Amino acid sequence: MRICLLEDDLELGRSLQALLQNADHEVMWLRRIADAKLWVGEGGFDAVVMDLGLPDGDGMELLRQLRRQQRKLPLIVITARDAIEDRLDGLDGGADDYLVKPFAGSELLARLRAVVRRSQGDAAEAGAAEWQLRDLVLDEPRMEVRRGLERVPLSRTEFSILLTLIKLPDRVVTRRQLENRAPCQMDGRSLDVHISNLRRKIGEGYIRTVRGVGYLVERE
């Protein structure tokens, strides 16, 4: 894969460049936001691994800009910012994954494989009218959920929440993302109620809580 590495620290940058190259990736290592805007904006990368603390601007703003420009491009944030608010901002800003420094090189490689695999799966399923999660089938045009021949009755908001989660399998979806995509205005308390109702209707074990961040569904 062709990877864009955006990291201003010389020692860490060299280490990550070697790590990625040893894993048979082609790496372009950049150290400034201005260069990233130029090279990533032209496309041609399979993924971006980027720090947020950069010398010539706001890394978060760059993250949002890259996500607006290239919606399907896998983006992994690597940063020392470990507060839960920073993690939420990064995920809400468009990061597919958020890795706090220091981290093991093997973990970065595993997360990189995972986000690229998800991206490729999303592209293949982009035109799908039906989405499957184990024994559940979501019919998007009809806005209905089936288990075998049996229909599972969901409200419009419950269906929207479940559809959002299923379209992003094995990926944490933040509470803010779910609230923003709902067909009606929602706050934190009402989201909790809808999640509880969903679990009661479809069964436990489908929707996992990631405490303090959001929710995810796992393919298996």
Helical spans, DSSP H, in the chain: 10-22, 33-41, 59-69, 84-92, 105-125, 156-167, 175-181, 188-202
Report long-range pairs for 84-91 (Cβ below 8 Å, ≥24 apart): 84/212, 84/213, 87/213, 88/174, 88/176, 88/213, 89/60, 90/52, 90/60, 90/63, 91/172, 91/174, 91/177, 91/213, 91/214
Q: What percent of the chain shows pLDDT beyond 90?
A: 39
> Is the pTM value of this prediction over 0.85?
no
User: What pLDDT was estimated at residue 43?
Assistant: 67
Judge whether 48 and 70 are in contact, CB under 8 Å: no
Does position 44 have pLDDT exceeding 80, yes or no?
no
pLDDT-derived band of residue 31, with 50, 70 and 90 as boundaries? very high
HEC assignment per residue over 15-49: HHHHHHHHCCCEEEEECCHHHHHHHHHCCCCCEEE
Distance, in Å, from the CA atom of 154 to the CA atom of 78, rounded to the nearest integer, reads 38
CATH topology of domain 130-217: Arc Repressor Mutant, subunit A (1.10.10)
Report long-range pairs for 199-208 (Cβ below 8 Å, ≥24 apart): 201/152, 201/153, 201/154, 201/158, 202/136, 202/145, 202/147, 202/152, 202/162, 206/133, 206/134, 206/136, 207/162, 207/165
Q: What is the pLDDT of residues 6-28, one digit of tens each?
A: 999 999 999 999 999 999 999 99
User: What pLDDT was estimated at residue 57?
Assistant: 85
User: What pLDDT was estimated at residue 124?
Assistant: 47
Burial class (CB in 10 A: 0-12, 13-18, 19+), 104: exposed
Any idea where the domains of the chain sit in the sequence? 2-125, 130-217
Does position 29 have pLDDT exceeding 90, yes or no?
yes
What average pLDDT does this structure show over 208-217?
Answer: 88
**Omega within 30 of 0 (cis) for the link into 141:** no
Q: What is the pLDDT of residues 165-196, one digit of tens each?
A: 888 888 888 888 888 777 766 666 888 899 99
Span 2-125 CATH architecture: 3-Layer(aba) Sandwich (3.40)
**Residue found by looking up tokens 């989201």 in the block:** 191
Q: What is the pLDDT of residues 96-141, one digit of tens each?
A: 999 999 999 999 999 999 888 877 665 445 455 778 888 888 888 7
What average pLDDT does this structure show over 30-47?
Answer: 84
User: What pLDDT was estimated at residue 119?
Assistant: 73
